[in-house]
Amino acid sequence: MPDARGEEDIAHRPSAGAILQQLDRILADQQAGIGERSREMLRYVVTETLEGRSTHIKAYTVAVDVFRRTNFDAQNDPVVRIEAARLRRDLERYYLMAGQNDPVVITIPKGGYVPTFRFAQAVAPQEDDADPPVDKGTSNADMHRRTWGIIAKRPKRILLAGVVVAAVAGYGGFSTLTASETSNVTPVRPTIAVEQFRNSNGDLVNPQAVSDLIISNLVKFKEFKITDQASGSPAGESIYDEARYSLQGSIREEGERVRLATRLVRQSDKAVLWANNYDIHVGTQDILEAETALAGEIATAVAQPFGVMFEGKVKPDGVGGWQAYDCSLSYYSYRRSMTAEALETAQACLKSATKNSPRDATSLALLSLTNLDQVRFAYKFDTKPLPEKLDLASQQAKQAVSIDHMNPRALQAVMLTSFFRNDVTAALEAGAAAYELNPNDTEVAGEYGLRLSMSGKWETGCDLVSKAASKGAGPTGYYEVGMTLCALMRNDLQAAELWSRMSDLDYNPMHRMVLASILGASGKTAQAKTEIDWLNHHAPALMSHLEHEISVRLVRLEDRERVFAGLRAAGVLIGKSPAPATN
């Protein structure tokens, strides 16, 4: 007989029918990126549990029944542990993305293979705090090799995500603004014309499909206008200027090998601004998946922040009306240098742009981020982090989303301002919506990954931070410090120190503080003292507010304590960490 608590748990558990419907929903989502072996394992453990055989779900039975292993040795063969870890990540990704509004949550707690079932409590299920933050068997190389699949999004879900963020931000009435209305008030920006790719000697790869896939990825970057051919017919947008940049490509097939060559050309003088080759081996890769992945890589390389179109090679060529784009260039130039002078220049430009084009959501979002930077990077600029700057940044971010709820940069601004206002729920909802709109925007992915990590979802967040770092997103060394924290939280001090020294230690004094904590935890007290001395000399204001600055970045008390412990070992006086504020 079950005890009273057991009867209560069963009463509040979803029915077998609801669980099977949820299983079918997950398995039917072909775009979620769940591998076939993971799908088989999920089907097996759910079915066995519902049929009352959960006590028989062990590494051995999974290996034999699912993976068809004979003479399985659980001690020497890690296949089940590896696949279970992959399945946990797949399920977490599914519920962060496609399954945010699903009624039933299926999870597989660490330490076993028996699934649990519960009704969804919120839009995005929260990670079980009892689980270890990171799979300690994961190496840095493993994290860099992981990539999030290109997920085809559902328009209805995207709209819902935008509405959720707007409601959190206090702009619940903006949903009456249609996509066409927002496009009609967007200022002129550079046009990238995607020409149809040419396949000179084969039929394995459909050139029209490749061109269409690239267009579908590029149109998600709101900093540009995209046309579907060099003649300039619009692709999804009706406003485009006369200064054209064409993306051209060719496909060559040799047996099972396919090479896709692409380049970005400035039409005015035919200068090649960027070029790259991509290879597919059809014997080992699914051709449709490969085409989709390559289209995402090309769009990311060309249009992501800090990408080709932001390297200063794109010029107006005498065409007026490019103020918004010029200010975007100024903003990303500032982020590369992180000087007070560059910040002032970018901020002045964006103020003028938003005054001239008050309905430009992208410029308003970037202006919000400059005001936020004066708070979160105050010690870099040797200024006081004024609360009114954070309030202004938050107001501007909300306004940007109210103008265009389908703008990833606006949602990114809401995510960051919400996070630093200690509204973690709103921050993660905005981040999920931004990532869902454009998973190829590595700046969005990286910042979202940092917020997930710092809120305690280290494994999922570190996947995204790793992706951003490997793609060269952000200023030099920016995401490397994120990888530093990922290694520190799984207690890999050697990797943490290596990542820290790869980051730009002058970018933000907080980076040196993290290194000092790592060195202290590693017993390298002399080296740690060198970093502490630097901080006392160059950032004394940070040292006097150290506990507060760590607390506003790391949500969980146990994560803060890991950093505090290293600093104490380095000789820094750290009191009891304050409890996290509630909203």
Could you please report the per-residue DSSP string of 122-185?
SSSPPPPTTS-SS-TT--HHHHHH-----PPPPHHHHHHHHHHHHHHHT-GGGGGS-HHHHHHT
Q: What are the tokens at 239?
A: 């406003």
Angle between helices 387-403 and 155-169 (to 10 degrees): 150
CB atoms within 10 A of CB 72: 17
The b-or-e profile of 255-293 (16+ CB within 10 A means b, else e) is eeebebebebbbbeeeeeebeeebebeeeeeeeeebbbb
Query: What is the spatial distance between Cα 16 and Cα 22, in angstroms, rounded to a whole number?
Result: 10
Q: What is the pLDDT of residue 544?
A: 85
pTM, entire model:
0.61
C-alpha radius of gyration, the chain, whole number: 25
* Per-residue confidence in pLDDT tens, the chain, 583 aa: 334 334 445 556 799 999 999 999 999 886 666 778 888 999 999 999 999 888 889 888 998 888 887 777 766 667 787 788 778 878 877 887 778 788 999 999 877 899 999 998 643 333 333 333 333 333 333 333 332 222 223 333 333 343 334 444 443 333 333 333 333 444 567 788 888 888 877 777 778 888 888 888 888 888 888 887 644 444 444 333 454 788 988 888 888 788 889 999 887 778 888 888 888 877 666 777 778 888 888 888 888 887 777 765 555 443 334 678 788 888 988 888 888 999 999 999 999 999 988 989 999 999 999 999 999 888 888 788 788 999 999 999 999 999 999 899 999 999 999 999 999 999 999 998 898 888 888 889 999 999 999 999 998 889 889 888 887 777 778 889 999 999 999 999 999 999 998 887 776 788 899 999 999 999 999 999 999 999 999 888 888 888 888 998 999 999 999 999 999 999 998 864 444 433 3
Query: What is the spatial distance between Cα 469 and Cα 484, in angstroms, rounded to a whole number?
Result: 11
Q: State the DSSP code for 234.
A: B
Q: What are the tokens at 322?
A: 């490019």
CA distances from 141 to 52, 456, 505 (A): 40, 22, 22
Which residues are CB-neighbours of 418 under 8 A, at least 6 positions away?
168, 169, 394, 424, 426, 427, 430
Query: What is the spatial distance between Cα 14 and Cα 22, in angstroms, rounded to a whole number?
Result: 10
Query: What is the spatial distance between Cα 345 and Cα 35, in angstroms, rounded to a whole number?
Result: 48
Torsion angle defined by CA atoms of residues 489, 559, 378 and 443, in that order, rounded to the nearest 10 degrees? 50
Encoded amino acid at 221, one letter: F
Q: What is the pLDDT of residue 272?
A: 87
CA distances from 292 to 203, 217, 280 (A): 17, 9, 12
Which residues are CB-neighbours of 116 under 8 A, at least 6 positions away?
106, 107, 108, 109
Query: What is the spatial distance between Cα 552 and Cα 316, in angstroms, rounded to a whole number?
Result: 41
Q: State the DSSP code for 107.
A: E
Contact 128, 91 (CB under 8 A): no
The stretches of 151-307 forming alpha helices (DSSP H) are 155-169, 179-184, 207-218, 287-303
Torsion angle defined by CA atoms of residues 135, 139, 141 and 142, in that order, rounded to the nearest 10 degrees? -30
Which residues are CB-neighbours of 161 under 8 A, at least 6 positions away?
100, 429, 432, 433, 436, 437
Report the Cα 329 to chain-centroid distance in Å. 22
Contact 428, 200 (CB under 8 A): no
Which residues are CB-neighbours of 521 under 8 A, at least 6 positions away?
488, 493, 562, 565, 566, 569
Which residues are CB-neighbours of 496 under 8 A, at least 6 positions away?
484, 485, 487, 488, 518
Pairing of strands 104-107, 116-119: antiparallel
Q: What are the tokens at 478?
A: 């920016």
Encoded amino acid at 546, one letter: L
Query: What is the spatial distance between Cα 480 and Cα 500, in angstroms, rounded to a whole number?
Result: 7
Domains observed in the chain: 11-131 (no CATH), 165-172+322-438 (1.25.40.10), 188-310 (3.40.50.10070)
- Bridge partners, residue 250, by sequence: 198, 261
Q: What is the pLDDT of residue 394?
A: 97
Encoded amino acid at 353, one letter: A
